[in-house]
Amino acid sequence: MATPISSTPTATSSFSKRERRQSMAERRPSTSYTPAVIPHLAGLETPQEMSPLKLEECDVVIIGTGLSQSILAAALAWQGTQVLHIDNNHYYGDSSSCLTIDQLKKWCVDVNQGKFNHFKDAQIYIPGGKRSNKYTSRDYGIDLTPKIMFCQSDLLSLLIQSRVYRYLEFQSLANFHVFENDDFKQKITNSTSKHDIFTDKTLSLITKRNLMKFLKFILIEEEHVRRALVKQYSNRPIHEFLTQEFKLEESQINELVYSIGLCNKQETTTKEAVIRIRRFLSSFDCYGKFPCMTSKFGGPGEISQGFCRSAAVAGTTYKLSTTMTDFDPVSKTAHFSDGSNIKVNEKIIISPTQIPKFLVPSYQKLTESLPSYYITRLITVVKRDCKEWMDPPQSASAAIVVFPPHSLPTDNESAVQVIIQNGDSGVCPEGQSIWYSHTCEQDLARAKRDLECAFEKMEMALLRGTPGTIPDVLDDIDLFSAGTTPMADSFKLGSSLANFMPKEKVEIVCKVGYVQQTYINPDLSNVFKANPNNSITCKKVPTGVDDEDMIIFGNMPSSELSYDGIITNVKQIYARVTGTDDDFFDVDFEDDDEEMQDHQQPQQPQVNQSGQVLGGIVGGGRMDEDAIDEDVIEDDSDDDHKPFGVDQMEL
């Protein structure tokens, strides 16, 4: 075992200079429940010093603390596997990290220096810099790969089954907007029911009937009937299916396909789209009138820490700032950057962002036949709470905005999807918001234009509802018709302001753009039907020793906005380690539950009156990283907010 490390969250002197956000344990200290016997959380809460690991052997080494790797570590550890879990970063999360602004500055510099595989073109823009743009870096938790969780999902089921939800806090997400005809149409809120989705009072009676027919088809129709009809259109675009079978109009199709289904392309097949739409509708009313949730204080990075903590409780040893430098397949000895040498009895699982130099040629050879997919991301921190997109504004903390294909002036081929989270979600100060936008457009220049255009439309939507910015157009609008109350801070002003030109800009704290590469198809087909020909996780890495299958490469996060596909991918790797996934998290937590009942701990996520889903015990790792200011662009001019303007803002 490694040298015992206290679980008290105190920083060692070597880490005191590194900027970080508070850990889960520091944010919500738990005194209500402590198991009678608990292993030391080796290296999890107080990072280990640079002395070598005091291990002679282990069963599995996992390199990278991303979400997939963290789930895998916990699953293996609870089955009695001795796991060594390391990361070459100073913080947890890997490609799923939740970073402060200063950590993000350093990350952008490292990306452009080639230190993070599968990321490129990273740029960060801070107008005015800290001289005039006052902010506290650690008040922000910015996800590199933000995601939302459907209430009917295998990850949520696993969080409950594994009791990891007790380390987390969830919030409802029920605000979905579609951009069409140069206006944002709010389709779903916290007061919406399944029936309401299809009974908009502005729709004609015929359209309502067609929509209700489709709703019954998705949720009530017998499985064999639904399958038979979908099979007729299986590989044909969903637009054909909805138009020909249900006589739906373009507006309703956009809502179903891009807002409810969260599809990316017009060419999305009927089979895929129907599955996505059903996912949304079946998730309604599981915990309340919302289909999705977000985790408070951060997304995948926060959940990663929860599984790391679970793995540590089960005996996994953790160490940061460490990587594998060599591996001898004959003696099965792994050599690490801290000078330690450890025998590995079973497998080595490696994150694609942390591949040791000696394995890079093998990785390149295995992936050269795989098609790659780019995800272009634009993250903007704005000095607005964006309550205009949220209902009810007093309790909602997040919203989804979707720009369907061809809805932007750039004539976007792929949808632009945006997650909005404000200060109530714990990722930024009160009164501010983070806009996470991304597109799967493979033409990167076009992708960046699409994201910038979407940002401008969102910015304009906020400004056109600001008092004092709309006097020139009010004369043309009958604000009191049909009993409508004038609301200068809402989007009820509608498309009449399509030509509105704002006289100002939304203030921003920072803006970050980057491109991520993955080998996962946007439709997740090579996850759910993975094989050695289409998935890196199924390929064997040659080590020069016959019949050895010691090394497994993991996958980068997909472009999917939800967590779908992650558990399936983890189970595939788990099966390669253990031979089967039949016992994946097959652990009896009943004894633990009996102790928990004495302390009034919940047995599943609960929802409070504001739609917030609460967890229980809280704990987790640290977020440490050096702060680098000199390599980030800090411009005193606020005239242009474009991180993708490479001619002006290349790092």
Pairing of strands 612-614, 606-607: antiparallel
Q: Is the pLDDT of residue 278 over 50?
A: yes
Q: Place 93 in a pLDDT band, splitting at 50, 70 and 90.
A: very high
Range(s) of the domain holding residue 333? 57-100+297-370+521-595
Does residue 347 have a pLDDT over 50? yes
Q: Which two tokens stand for residue 472?
A: 């020139």
Predicted confidence (pLDDT) at residue 596 exceeds the cutoff of 70: no
Report the alpha-carbon distance of residue 465 to residue 388 in Å, rounded: 9
Band (pLDDT 50/70/90 cuts) for residue 470 is very low
Range 548-579 burial, b when 16+ CB lie within 10 A, else e: eebbbbbbbbbbbbbbbbbbebbbbbbebbbe
Q: How much is the average pLDDT of 596-612?
A: 47
User: What's the CATH number where 541 sits?
Assistant: 3.50.50.60
Distance of alpha carbon 326 from alpha carbon 395, whole angstroms: 52
Encode 82-93: b = buried (16+ Cβ within 10 Å), e = exposed. Answer: bbbbbbbbbbbb
The pLDDT of residue 648: 32
Domain assignment present for 418: no
- Whether pLDDT at 615 is above 80: no
Tell me: the pLDDT tens digits for 374-425?
Answer: 999 999 999 999 988 888 777 789 999 999 999 999 999 999 999 999 999 9
> How many other β-carbons are positioned within 10 Å of the β-carbon of residue 235?
9
State the average pLDDT over residues 327-337.
94
Whether pLDDT at 35 is above 50? no
Strands 633-635 and 119-127: parallel
Query: For residue 118, how far is the Cα from the chain centroid?
Result: 17
Pick 318 or 639 by higher pLDDT. Answer: 318
Nearest Cα to Cα of residue 244 among 278, 187, 226, 253: 253
**pLDDT score at 251:** 86
Lowest mean pLDDT among 178-182, 305-309, 558-562: 178-182
Question: Number of structural domains, the chain?
Answer: 1
Q: Cα–Cα distances in Å, from 100 out to 43, 164, 623? A: 21, 24, 9
pLDDT at position 241 is 95
- If you search the block for the tokens 């509708």, which residue do you land on? 281
Strands (E), 287-391: 292-295, 317-319, 324-328, 333-336, 341-350, 373-382
When the pLDDT of each residue in the chain is averaged and rounded to a whole number, the result is 80
Residue 651 has pLDDT above 70, yes or no: no
478 vs 332, higher pLDDT: 332
Please enumerate in sequence order all residues whose Cβ is within 8 A of that of 334, keeping only pairs 6 or more positions apart, or say none.
61, 324, 326, 327, 328, 341, 342, 343, 344, 348
Are 620 and 28 contacting, i.e. CB atoms less than 8 angstroms apart? no
Q: Does the model's pTM come out above 0.95?
A: no
Higher pLDDT, 64 or 208: 64
What's the confidence (pLDDT) of residue 219? 86
Q: How confident is the model at residue 544 (pLDDT cuts 50, 70, 90)?
A: confident
Instruction: Give the range among 6-10, 21-25, 491-495 with minimum mean pLDDT.
Output: 6-10
Asked if residue 533 belongs to a domain, the reply is: yes
- Asked whether residue 348 is domain-assigned, the answer is yes
Q: Is 80 exceeded by the pLDDT of residue 312?
A: yes
Report how far residue 426's alpha carbon sits from residue 421's, in angstroms, rounded to the nearest whole number. 9
Residue in 24, 23, 18, 25 with CA at minimum distance from that of residue 102:
18
pLDDT 10s digits, 249-260: 888 899 999 999
- pLDDT of residue 649 exceeding 50: no
Nearest alpha carbon to residue 102 among 131, 141, 48: 141
Question: What pLDDT, on a 0 to 100 scale, did the predictor assign at position 500?
Answer: 52
d(CA 242, CA 584): 39
Higher pLDDT, 598 or 566: 566
Which of 20-24, 155-159, 203-207, 595-599 has maximum average pLDDT?
155-159
- Candidates 190, 419, 396; CA nearest to 287 is 190
**Which positions ≥6 away from 226 have C-beta within 8 Å?**
217, 218, 274
Q: At 203, is the pLDDT very low, low, confident or very high (cuts 50, 70, 90)?
A: confident
**Higher local confidence (pLDDT), 477 or 288:** 288
356 inside domain = yes
Residue 169 domain-assigned?
no
Name the residue with tokens 């409070």. 608
Please state which of the ranges 180-184, 247-251, 291-295, 361-365 shows the lowest mean pLDDT.
180-184
Q: Which two tokens stand for residue 426?
A: 């714990």
- Please give the residue that has the higher pLDDT: either 473 or 172: 172
Residues 44-65: pLDDT tens digits?
A: 555 455 567 778 999 999 999 9
Q: What is the share, in percent, of the chain residues with pLDDT greater than 90?
A: 60
Query: Rg for the chain (alpha carbons), in Å?
Result: 25
User: Would you state the pLDDT for residue 287?
Assistant: 87
Asked whether 174 and 211 are in contact (CB, 8 A), the reply is no
Q: What is the pLDDT of residue 279?
A: 94
pLDDT tens figures, 435-458: 999 999 999 999 999 999 999 999
Q: Would you state the pLDDT for residue 624?
A: 37
Instruction: Kindly indicate the confidence band of residue 481, based on its pLDDT and cuts at 50, 70 and 90.
Output: very low
582-618 in b/e burial notation, b at 16+ Cβ within 10 A? eebbebeeeeeeeebeeeebeeebebeeebbbbbbbb
Q: Are 125 and 510 in contact (CB under 8 A)?
A: yes
Task: Tell me which of 493 and 255 has the higher pLDDT.
Answer: 255
In a domain, residue 428? The reply is: no
Q: Which of 29-38, 205-214, 355-364, 584-593 is the least confident region?
A: 29-38
pLDDT at 134: 82
- Does 239 reside within a domain? no
**Site of tokens 């595939």:** 572
Quote the CA–CA distance of 4 and 44 in Å, as a whole number: 11
Phi, psi of 244 (to 5 degrees): -80, -40
Hey, what are 629's tokens? 């200011």
Question: Per-residue pLDDT averaged across 125-154, rounded?
Answer: 89
